[in-house]
Amino acid sequence: MPLTLFWFLPTFGDGRDVGAFHRSGAERPPRLEYMIQIARAAELLGFEGVLTPTGLHCEDAWLATIAVSRDTDRLKFLVAFRPGFLSPTLAAHQCATYQRLTGGRLLLNIVTGGDPKEQRRFGDWLDHDQRYDRTDEWLTILRAAMTGRPTDFEGQYYRVAGASVRQPPEPVPPIYLGGSSPPAERVAARHVDVYLTYGETPAMMAEKLPRMRELAAANGRELRFGMRIHAITRDTEAEAWAVAQRILDGMDPDDIREAQKRFAASDSHAQRRMTALHGGSSDRLEVSPNLWAGIGLVRGGSGTALVGSHEQVADRIQEYLELGVEQFILSGYPHLEEAYWFGENVIPLLRRRGVLANGAAPS
């Protein structure tokens, strides 16, 4: 099973002080020139692509990545977006255009929701399970429309007649989706190519992945698995943990409490699993060997980091790979410098061990 590595494009900005960053804004604003720097570094270092987030806190992922694509040659863009806010036929049209303009470098990350308050800002008043039912219909139409053959569909949320595109996208972009609730798992098993999970412990993954394989098999399908996680890798374990401690020391207790209140209001099951790893406490944050839950004290979504020497981080990645996680979407603070720490030290180790996919070669 070959390993594929992605980096992260911080379209909400970047910085070293994680606590202050998620409270008051970025030390480095998300200017196009800076995003291009990160993307070109990721391409140079051998990452397959970059993930861009979605939400009102960041720049629009479709627009940002198409702008950055002009300054890269082979880097792929995993574009996150909310399907409930976009017609599936229009999305198929955008996918086809994107693939023609970039030479086929688009990947789709479906984000059904998570923060009810933000959903309502867009006029979306559906509850958690209803949103996944809508995503189920949305993906059915998208898949059909991207074939170029006119498709009729009538469901609870969508009704289309002759949905199609003039020229199908080439290639058809792979679809990624995350979520730990039963509705999310059901939709993933029915529709997606890669099921994403946050950086949970190996024990948690050993329970989740076999269940997802069974659900997919019941639908006559196979899934690939990806993980969204941060990384702090240094020449020695002590140096890496010193960086983690510096990040923790920069977090104001009031910021931690406020962040935990926000996360508690989320209806995301995946967010609840992240929060449960630390319970809002800064004690015992190493929840598994070299797996640190400190980022999740102030950051929503992906809240864990692999922390250790380059060899230890490579070992942990291989441990997850043996469980079936073949794609890793990594990040660090700041994203430019941490891309080099990982790319110049861990990627060569993984390459020498013979586990990287062929595409993960430096430019």
Residue 320 per-residue DSSP state: H
Model confidence at 357, pLDDT cuts 50, 70, 90, reads confident
Residue at 235 is within a domain: yes
Assigned token pair, 242:
């010193």
Return the ∠ at Cα 71 (arms to 7 and 350), rounded to 5°.
30
Instruction: Confirm whether 363 is domain-assigned.
Output: no
The answer to the question of residue 357 being in a domain is no
The pair of structure tokens assigned to 95 is 């996918």
Using only C-alpha atoms, the chain has a radius of gyration, in whole angstroms, of 20
Q: What value does the mean pLDDT take over residues 209-215?
A: 98
Q: Do 128 and 113 touch, CB atoms closer than 8 A?
A: yes
Q: Which CATH number goes with the domain that contains 129?
A: 3.20.20.30
Q: What is the pLDDT of residue 156?
A: 98
In a domain, 67, yes or no: yes
Closest by CA to 91, choosing from 116, 61, 121, is 61
- Runs of H (alpha helix) within 158-280: 182-191, 202-218, 237-249, 253-265, 269-276
3-class SS of residue 299: coil
CA pair distance 129, 110, nearest whole angstrom: 15
* pLDDT score at 123: 87
Task: Say if 333 falls within a structural domain.
Answer: yes
DSSP annotation of 173: P
Whether residue 360 has pLDDT greater than 60: no
In a domain, 359, yes or no: no
Tens of pLDDT, residues 70-111: 999 999 999 999 999 999 999 999 999 999 999 999 999 999
- For residue 107, give both structure tokens: 């990947």
Number of structural domains in the chain = 1
pLDDT over 70, % of the chain: 96
Domain that holds residue 258: 4-352
pLDDT of residue 22: 63
Residue 358 lies in a domain: no
pTM, 2 dp: 0.95
Kindly tell me if the per-residue pLDDT of 264 is higher than 90: no
In a domain, 39, yes or no: yes
pLDDT, tens only, 295-353: 999 998 999 999 999 999 999 999 999 999 999 999 999 999 999 999 999 999 999 99
